[in-house]
Amino acid sequence: MRSPLLIAIAALLACALARAQQIDPADVAENQRVFASAVERALARTPPLVDAAHPRRGTPASPRPGGELRVQIDREPSSLNYLLHAEGELEAIWQELHAYLARPDLTTLELVPELARAIEIADRVTLRADGERPRGDAIGILEGEWPRPKSDGPVRLRWREGEPALELDASRVERVVRGGAITFRLRGDARWHDGAPFDADDVLFSYACARNEELDAPGISALFDAIDECRALDRYTVRFLFAEPHFQAPRVAAALRLLPRHLYERPGASAKEQAAAVREHERNHSFVGLGPYRFAAWERGARIVLERNPDFFGAPPLPDRIVFRVLAGSGPGLRELLAGNLDLAVGLSGSDYTVGLGKDTLASGFAKDFVLAHRYTFIAWNLRRAPGSSRELRRALAHTFDVEEFVRLIGYGFGARITGHASMLGPAYDRDLAPFPFDLERARSLLAAAGWRDGDGDGLVERDGVPLRLRLLCVAASPPARFIGPQWQQSLRTIGVDLVLDIVDPNTYTARVQQRDFDTLCMDWITTGEVDYYPIWHSRYADEPGSLNVAGYGNPRIDALIEEARMTSGDAERHALWKLVQRGIYEDQPYLFLYRGATRMAWSQRWRGVTLYPERPNWRLREWYLGE
């Protein structure tokens, strides 16, 4: 008698096969063409157009405030405190509720001040101690011109002209960190949603929280490890000091996630007590932010409502309210859109996007488009235990997943195979690195060379009498559980490897990933522009519980390249180093890199001002307006 799990897997495979039989090759070919064209436009940095996908884009519409914009989110956040979470897919909420010191422009990636009015970049200079005078002693005499007084009273002293710039003897300089001092001049008119003023104390407090090891947010704290110190120069000026040169120093500092000090600080508390206060604060679910929208309501499992912030310091947002509806999967989102209960459906499947909406969007009352996804999908090995600790085995099984077939059947032609962590649209991605081909006979041969053979004729390869069995950890009802796992399972069975799908709920999945309790797992990373490999790939985090280095990867040569690249200011030289990192990691195969796809969406034609940006979260909901 077959187990319920095997019956479910068989049903999923049958469903996938049925879908494959219904696929129109002409539709797939057209999707492949438009996807490739989108890649070329992105590489050329072609600026996006407003309402480019709207059927009436040639008919002007005047922006006007008002209306309620209803937007799909695929899953509910655990809280609205973005210091505690690294959920990049929820950036659409964070962008409207929160504000940063500065943000990358969604088109050019240039850093644009937001809570700051100016950003200053300077070298950090450390001087040698002179070793002669105790601290506090006068080190010289200031000379001035003393006028002869003609009567009792105050005397005005005129100091002699000073040097126009500080000049130091080289012997006095102990160390210079190029670009290691980043100063933000804060605007004075920003207020938290409860009316309290925002100032440098909020920045210092937020930095202390981000670096608090008791907070148990390693995915966040690792981002700021390069910062040595954060200082307040006055109420509206903060300076970040870096211990080493860092190619993204201004971006790293600007990305600090800010908390209202007046609500979260516990004066006199220990680091552990302060961390608990942040984690357990009641405002985590009704967050007081700085963005153009403020929290209004949260109906658990259903919706999060934001309303326009009348005191926002920037340009006034247009929709009165934004309602984020929790609708997991493509089907529910599409159904609610077609029923008129949703304005923007996100994450449509290839078939729903291509067939479900129809090709005549003008008649349907909807617009549709896609953006190249910044997320990529991969299967990670656990290098801390067998069998994933074997480099030979990982390289052998790199030949066992047919990515092109998967993109055709499940992605409906939207997607491209990848060979590394960096965005394939970024300058540091090595597009000349050829992927390992799908070749089951090659995989079988490499396994045999590593000692894995079917010696007893039971259909499974073994070594030293132990059969090769793997478990793939994935979330129930997710694409890995529904499609990726079953396809890989079928390929592995062909060469004598037993793969068990370890399907769990989201909370169990997260806990087991943090505890490193898996053989393999399937998940996504979100990368954009030029990425910093350090938090995910440096050996420093290989054995740190909860770190972003989920595979436990570490290679001294790769460590050295990462460290060198981070301190290299020249773009061409740094990009060359990142490409060496990409090649080295791909040779080691800690991940079975799969593909980067597309984010497909559809929205009501009632809404205009829609610009799909090349950078995540790909749109600014505050810019949308009702055109009729």
Q: Is the pLDDT of residue 2 over 50?
A: no
Domain 4-29+373-598 has CATH 3.10.105.10: yes
What is the band of 473 on the pLDDT scale with cuts at 50, 70, 90?
A: very high
pLDDT of residue 136: 54
Q: Is the pLDDT of residue 476 over 60?
A: yes
List the beta strands (DSSP E) in 338-481.
344-346, 366-381, 416-417, 462-463, 466-467, 469-475
pLDDT of residue 16: 45
Per-residue tokens: 263: 């609500």
Q: How confident is the model at residue 328 (pLDDT cuts 50, 70, 90)?
A: confident
The structural domains of the chain, with segments of one domain joined by +, span 4-29+373-598, 63-75+287-369+600-626, 88-122+175-281
Q: According to the model, what pLDDT value does residue 216 have? A: 75
Q: Which long-range contacts (CB under 8 A, 24 or more apart) does 300-309 make?
A: 300/76, 301/76, 301/326, 302/326, 304/73, 304/76, 304/77, 304/80, 304/93, 306/93, 306/96, 306/97, 308/65, 309/193
- Mean pLDDT for 101-123 is 93
Cis link prior to 617 (omega < 30° from 0)?
A: yes
Question: Which residues are bridge partners to 464 per DSSP?
Answer: none
Q: What is the pLDDT confidence band of residue 219, given thresholds at 50, 70 and 90?
A: low
The pLDDT score that the predictor gives to residue 156 is 60
> Is the CATH number of domain 63-75+287-369+600-626 3.40.640.10?
no
Residue closest to 381 by CA, chosen among 171, 203, 549, 605: 549
Q: Which pLDDT does position 88 carry in this prediction? A: 63
pLDDT of residue 126: 85
Q: How far apart are CA 354 and CA 363, in angstroms?
A: 15
Q: What's the CA gap between 325 and 342, in Å, rounded? A: 8
Asked if residue 162 has pLDDT above 90, the reply is no
Contact partners, residue 456, CB within 8 Å, separation at least 6? 462
Q: What is the pLDDT of residue 1?
A: 36
User: Tell me, which fold does domain 88-122+175-281 have in CATH?
Assistant: Dipeptide-binding Protein; domain 1 (3.90.76)
**Is the confidence at residue 15, as pLDDT, over 50?**
no
pLDDT band at 17 (very low <50, low <70, confident <90, very high): very low
- pLDDT at residue 181 greater than cutoff 90: yes
- Given pLDDT bands bounded at 50, 70 and 90, which one contains residue 149? low
Min mean pLDDT across 212-226, 467-481, 570-584 is at 212-226
Cα-based angle 63, 66, 67 (whole degrees, multiple of 5): 115
Q: Is the omega angle on the peptide bond into residue 292 within 30 degrees of 0, that is, cis?
A: no
pLDDT higher than threshold 60 for residue 3: no
Q: What is the percent of the chain with per-residue pLDDT over 90, rounded to a whole number?
A: 69
Instruction: Provide the whole-model pTM.
Output: 0.85
Reduced to 3 states (helix: H, G, I; strand: E, B; else coil), residue 442 is: helix
**Closest C-alpha among 626, 624, 620, 625 to residue 291:** 620
pLDDT computed for residue 528 by the predictor: 76
SS3 350: helix
What pLDDT score does 60 carry?
80
Least confident window among 89-98, 252-261, 303-312, 361-370: 361-370
pLDDT of residue 564: 97
% of the chain beyond a pLDDT of 70? 89
What tens digit of pLDDT does each residue of 50-64 get? 999 998 888 888 999
| Mean pLDDT, the chain, integer | 89
Compute the distance between CA of residue 295 and CA of residue 283 in angstroms, rounded to an integer: 10
Q: Is the pLDDT of residue 396 over 70?
A: yes
Candidate ranges 14-28, 302-316, 353-367; pick with highest mean pLDDT: 302-316
3-state helix, strand, coil in the chain (%, to 5): 30, 25, 45
Confidence of residue 174 (pLDDT cuts 50, 70, 90): confident
- Output phi, psi for 577, to 5 deg: -65, -40
pLDDT of 288 strictly over 80: yes
According to the model, what pLDDT value does residue 18 have? 40
Residue 619 pLDDT > 70: yes
519 and 388 in contact (C-beta within 8 Å)? yes
Residue 127: its pLDDT value, please?
82
Under the banding of pLDDT at 50, 70 and 90, the label for residue 109 is confident
Read off the pLDDT of each residue in 294-314 and give the average, rounded to a whole number: 97
Which of 155-169, 198-212, 339-353 has the lowest average pLDDT? 155-169
For the ranges 127-131, 343-347, 424-428, 528-532, the maximum mean pLDDT occurs at 343-347
For residue range 340-359, list pLDDT tens digits in order.
999 999 989 998 999 888 76
